[in-house]
């Protein structure tokens, strides 16, 4: 569950809201592909990932996909609202990346800044 925008801060003067939304949405495809490739070898991952996608990520992507189609990303105040909600989502997702890192017995790198990678 680790594409960059899912857990790393989107700086106020950097990035693009639509690209960030697309990146978050890409988690669904990445997760489906992982589940397809690993099959029953990733049951514990599947339990966590499916809940996270359906209960945490999907409400965000559903709302902002609709807002994006309605032109929200052309309005500075709506862009700020998106970024605020993205920040809250990222904070929530960091809890799950820690859990998944522990499950995989690997280091959780989400706390590192991009300059330290």
Question: Does 65 reside within a domain?
Answer: yes
Indicate if the pLDDT at residue 117 is higher than 60. no
Of 3-12, 47-56, 97-106, give the lowest mean pLDDT range: 3-12
Question: Does 101 reside within a domain?
Answer: yes
Indicate if the pLDDT at residue 2 is higher than 60. no
- Once rounded to an integer, what is the mean pLDDT over residues 83-111? 85
Question: Does 2 reside within a domain?
Answer: no
Name the percent of the chain lying above pLDDT 70.
Answer: 82
Question: Does 53 reside within a domain?
Answer: yes
**Could you tell me which of 30, 38, 37, 43 has the C-alpha nearest to residue 4?**
30
pLDDT at 41: 84
pLDDT at 6: 59
Q: pLDDT class for 63, splitting at 50, 70, 90?
A: very high
Kindly list the distances between the CA atom of residue 25 and the CA atoms of 39, 102, 106, in Å, as whole numbers in the listed order. 22, 24, 25
Question: Does 110 reside within a domain?
Answer: no
Question: Which segments of 1-117 does DSSP mark as H helices, in order?
Answer: 4-7, 17-38, 43-51, 58-69, 76-104
CB 56 within 8 A of CB 89: yes
Range of the domain at 63: 15-105
Query: Which backbone phi and psi does 71 adopt, to 5 degrees?
Result: 95, 15
């Amino acid at each position: 569950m680790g594409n960059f925008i899912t857990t790393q801060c989107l700086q106020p003067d950097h990035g693009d809201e639509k690209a960030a939304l697309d990146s978050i949405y890409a988690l669904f495809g990445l997760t489906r592909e992982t589940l397809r490739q690993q099959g029953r070898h990733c049951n514990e991952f599947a339990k966590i990932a499916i809940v996270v996608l359906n209960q945490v990520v999907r409400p965000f992507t559903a709302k902002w996909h609709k807002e994006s189609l309605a032109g929200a990303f052309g309005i500075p105040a709506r862009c700020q609202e998106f970024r605020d909600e993205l920040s809250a989502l990222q904070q929530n997702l960091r809890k799950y990346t820690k859990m998944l890192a522990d499950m995989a017995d690997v280091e959780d790198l989400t706390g590192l800044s991009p300059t330290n990678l």
